[in-house]
Amino acid sequence: MAQEASRLRDQDDDTAPHAPHPPHTSFFAPVRGSLAAIIGLSLLGAVTSVVPFVAVVELARAVLPALSGGAVDPGRVWAIVAVAAAALFVSFGAAWLSGMVSHVADAGLQHSLRRRIVRHLQRLPLGWFDARSSGTVRKLVENDVVALHQLVAHAIHDVLTAIAVPVISLVYLFAMQWQLALAAMVPLLLATVAYVLMMRGGAEKYARYDEATARLSGATVEFVHGIAVVKRFGQLGRSHRRYEERKDHYVGFVDEWTRATAVGFTIIELLASPVVVLVWLLAVGVSLVAGGAAAPIDVLPGLLLGLGLTAPLMKLGASAQFLRNATKAQQSLAAFLALAPMPRPSTPQAPDGHGVAFADVGFSYDGEHRVLHDIVAECRPGTVTALVGPSGSGKSTLARLAARFYDATEGSVTIGGTDTREIAAGELYRTVGFVFQDVQLLRASLRDNLRLTRPDATDAEIEQAARTAQIHDRIMRFDRGYDAVVGEDANLSGGEEQRVTIARALLTDAPVLVLDEATAFADPDSEAAIQRALSALATDRTVLVVAHRLHTVVRADQIVVLDGGRVVERGTHADLVAAGGRFARMWADYQENHARALPEGTAR
């Protein structure tokens, strides 16, 4: 993932001025005009959708005199019909236009957001990618952006309609017959109160739901990755047990929440039911007519418009989850875009040579707890420098500082005498190549995976890099050879994937190579060959190796021993063993553990 991020940086123009990112409140700035149009069209559609019902009432008033032998004004009747027809046409047209504009605006917003996300990804420290999976980036670019679709394409229109139609209807009802208007509000108010009572503690439950969903998703991914092991050894492992536990917890929580809200939802649906509302309004209307408080014609508006008050409320409730998801997505995107980018040099400088030096380097991930303290080291061109030490000693962090995954908190890291902070990103990642334990291959052909950092590489250069990394023969065993697609017709083991990334780094031909146990997943038959290839590469290159298996760095020109984030020893393998210090004890323990791991009877 970090290698793909460095490729994106290479494509970015480091010297061109970049407009500052607008604050997250300007998410909708590119479609602000469209949003105003959506609001206007939605309100127009809501108003005109009520007019035909009002026209029915007024038409009944206009023709009512005919029932008692009175005269009817044809002009008024036709005017009412014309207004109703025009309103109906405008209502449908406004709804259609609102839908068109909202979907076009949604497409524009998604395009704008994705461009902003990609631009921001190009500017983030590579360490941000190193600490996160590709799923994090996918969530931002895909899930969070798509979640805003409901907000722009549907929710604005739905919410405005759900509010405007009842308000307009009630205004008309109060103007015509206030008692019936109050009666029409009763089901609406009762359903609203029932919903509020039912959703008490909803924020806490939604938080628990999100947590349960996230845990289940993580356990599912872990379980899927472990299926091969389950099939191979015919037993359920820890990942399966965790998946079962997360699934049971999720199902139990959803079941409990569903049972707790089932009665409430039933009550709300009954209160908002058209049949119940109609019976209630008829009862009130008959009572008003019988008591002389209203004429029969005055009941008609309440029956026509009162039935339409609760339906928008139910639709608004259905939109609540979409609005909640959109709000969470907006918060997630805002937090991402607020991340500080890696500072860029105002006047980039080119390195003069490719020696790497650490001068009084200190580093902290959080600004409080220091991981590295006063590191002083020099890696000369044409040499291999190995970083060794116990787990948590800071060796991988120090190696990543050379590739500028992070900036040193104190001191400086230089390449060719130039501070890495003063080297343009494109130049830096043409100078420094790296291979880490977390292998990342794209779902593309092996040829394209190898060409990732050098799109102009020839087939001969690709083959030579693959041969050097001891992966060419394995590639040629696939039916399509270098054109085989990873994950489809090219299924590689962990060691084979790592050799592909080594070949990719070799093809880059960077004068500085950073290797974090590059042979960690290589099989024993090819490990020695890969080590010889890497050693040969040291000619005219600066190689920095993070070593966990000490036998792989016996021939290193310099071994730097770290402990607790400090350099405690340095020298060649022979010198350090002879000194009898920390490295000598590590070497003795390593040899003893390695000897125990050998099968009985194997020569040591």
Specify the CATH number for the domain of residue 384.
Answer: 3.40.50.300
How far apart are alpha carbons 430 and 447 in whole angstroms? 20
pLDDT digits over 570-603, tens only? 999 999 999 998 999 989 988 887 666 555 544 4
**Is 380 a domain residue?**
yes
Please tell me whether residues 168 and 189 are part of one structural domain. no
Please tell me whether residues 398 and 288 are part of one structural domain. no
Total number of residues shown for the chain: 604
pLDDT digits over 208-227, tens only? 877 787 777 767 766 665 55
Q: Which pLDDT band, with edges at 50, 70 and 90, does 561 fall under?
A: very high
**Is 423 a domain residue?**
yes
**Is 129 a domain residue?**
yes
**Is 306 a domain residue?**
no
How much is the average pLDDT of 563-568?
92
Give the pLDDT score at 67.
66
How much is the average pLDDT of 393-412?
90
Q: Which residue has the higher pLDDT, 155 or 283?
A: 283
**Least-confidence region, from 95-109, 183-197, 218-232, 556-570:** 218-232
Element spanning 570, H or E: strand 566-571
Q: Which residue has the higher pLDDT, 505 or 542?
A: 542
Please tell me whether residues 106 and 150 are part of one structural domain. yes
How much is the average pLDDT of 367-373?
86
Q: What is the dihedral of CA 492, 497, 502, 505, to 10 degrees?
A: 110
Please tell me whether residues 169 and 222 are part of one structural domain. no
Percent of the chain's residues with pLDDT above 70: 83
Q: What is the pTM of this model?
A: 0.66
Please tell me whether residues 91 and 19 are part of one structural domain. yes
Q: How many domains does the chain have?
A: 3
**Least-confidence region, from 74-88, 236-250, 574-588:** 236-250
How far apart are alpha carbons 451 and 456 in whole angstroms? 7
Please tell me whether residues 435 and 553 are part of one structural domain. yes
Please tell me whether residues 462 and 565 are part of one structural domain. yes
- What is the amino acid identity at position 46? A
Please tell me whether residues 460 and 577 are part of one structural domain. yes
Q: In the predicted model, what is the mean pLDDT of the chain?
A: 80
Please tell me whether residues 1 and 137 are part of one structural domain. yes
Please tell me whether residues 282 and 325 are part of one structural domain. no
| pLDDT tops 90 at residue 358 | yes
**Is 211 a domain residue?**
yes
**Is 351 a domain residue?**
no
Largest CA distance in the chain: 124
**Is 283 a domain residue?**
yes
pLDDT digits over 15-32, tens only? 444 444 444 446 777 788
Please tell me whether residues 534 and 550 are part of one structural domain. yes
Q: Which of 97-101, 157-161, 333-337, 590-594 has the highest mean pLDDT?
A: 97-101
**Is 162 a domain residue?**
yes
| pLDDT tops 80 at residue 229 | no
Contact 520, 532 (CB under 8 A): no
- What is the amino acid identity at position 57? V
Q: Residue 76's domain is classified under what CATH number? A: 1.20.1560.10
3-class secondary-structure state, position 457: coil
Q: Which of 188, 194, 192 is nearest to 165 (CA)?
A: 188
Domain that holds residue 285: 178-293
Please tell me whether residues 68 and 132 are part of one structural domain. yes
Give the pLDDT score at 535.
62
How much is the average pLDDT of 475-481?
91
Q: Which residue has the higher pLDDT, 567 or 292?
A: 567
Contact 272, 313 (CB under 8 A): yes
